C-alpha cells in the first residue's frame, strides 16, 4: 500500500520556501514547539536553503541518471526547523528539477502526519528529513535519510558516547560537515539508488 496515496495536500519546494519565509516573518515555526530556539532554527534554515539554492549544482552524471530513470514521486517528510533538511532539501529539489520531469518532489510536514512518519523510523526515532521514492504504480522504490551515511555515523557515535560534546556542539559540527561536503555524499548515494533501480528494471 502507498501510504501517501490519500494525501491531498503537500508542498512543492517553492511552496515550502514560501511557508518558511512566512513563518520567519511572523516569528513562528511549525509544530507545537514555538520556543525561541525553534523559531531561531527556522530563520537560520531559511538562509541556509537560500544559500544552497545559489551554490549547489547537480553533477552531470546524476542528471543523466535522472533522465533515464523511471517516473517517480519523491515524498520528503520534514519540518522547517530541521537543520539537516536545510542542507538536504535544496539538493533534492535541484535533482528533481534537473530530471526533465522524471522526478516530482512533494513535501509533507512530519508532525502533521505521524502515522506516515512512524513507517520510516530511524533506530526508533522520527528523524528527518526522510525521502521515500514511489513509482506511478504505487510501488515503493527506495527510502533515503535522514542524512548521508558518513554523517549518520558521526551522529550515531555521539548518541552512543556524547562525552563533553553537547547537542549544540553536535549541530555545529553537522552544519560544518555539510558545508565541507558540498553535496558530494548525498549525490553519490542518490546516484546509487537510481542506478540500482535501472539494474532491477
107 pLDDT higher than 80: yes
pLDDT confidence band for 198 (50 / 70 / 90): confident
What pLDDT score was predicted for residue 200?
A: 63
What pLDDT score was predicted for residue 164?
A: 80
Task: Compute CA distances 186 → 20, 60, 89, 191, 201, whole Å.
Answer: 23, 14, 11, 8, 23
Residues 61, 4, 44, 54: is their CA dihedral positive or negative? positive
pTM: 0.95
> Which domains does the chain carry?
13-200 (3.40.30.10)
Q: What is the pLDDT of residues 128-179, one digit of tens each?
A: 999 999 998 899 999 999 999 999 999 999 999 888 889 999 999 999 999 9
What pLDDT score was predicted for residue 12?
A: 98
What pLDDT score was predicted for residue 191?
A: 98
Residues 2, 72, 197, 75: is their CA dihedral positive or negative? negative
Q: What is the pLDDT of residues 66-105, one digit of tens each?
A: 999 999 999 999 999 999 999 999 999 999 999 999 999 9
Pairwise CA distance, residues 4 & 132, whole Å: 10
- Report the percentage of the chain scoring pLDDT > 90: 90
What pLDDT score was predicted for residue 199?
A: 75
Which three cell numbers, joined as nine digits, stand for 126? 522520527
What pLDDT score was predicted for residue 162?
A: 85
Amino acid at each position: 500500500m502507498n501510504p501517501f496515496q490519500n494525501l491531498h495536500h503537500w508542498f512543492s519546494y517553492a511552496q515550502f520556501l514560501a511557508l518558511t519565509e512566512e513563518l520567519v516573518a511572523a516569528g513562528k515555526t511549525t509544530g507545537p514547539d514555538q520556543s525561541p530556539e525553534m523559531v531561531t532554527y527556522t530563520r537560520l534554515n531559511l538562509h541556509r536553503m537560500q544559500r544552497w539554492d545559489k551554490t549547489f549544482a547537480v553533477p552531470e552524471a546524476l542528471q543523466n541518471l535522472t533522465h533515464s530513470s523511471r517516473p517517480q514521486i519523491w515524498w520528503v517528510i520534514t519540518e522547517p526547523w530541521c537543520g539537516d533538511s536545510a542542507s538536504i532539501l535544496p539538493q533534492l529539489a535541484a535533482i528533481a528539477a534537473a530530471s526533465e520531469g522524471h522526478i516530482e518532489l512533494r513535501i509533507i510536514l512530519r508532525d502533521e502526519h505521524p502515522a506516515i512518519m512512524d513507517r520510516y523510523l530511524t533506530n526508533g526515532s522520527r528523524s528527518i528529513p526522510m525521502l521515500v521514492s514511489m513509482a506511478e504504480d504505487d510501488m515503493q522504490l527506495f527510502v533515503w535519510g535522514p542524512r548521508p551515511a558518513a554523517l549518520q555515523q558521526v551522529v550515531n557515535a555521539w548518541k552512543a558516547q556524547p562525552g563533553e560534546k553537547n547537542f549544540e556542539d553536535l549541530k555545529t559540527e553537522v552544519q560544518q560537515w555539510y558545508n565541507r561536503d558540498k553535496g558530494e555524499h548525498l549525490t553519490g548515494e542518490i546516484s546509487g539508488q537510481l542506478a540500482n533501480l535501472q539494474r532491477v528494471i
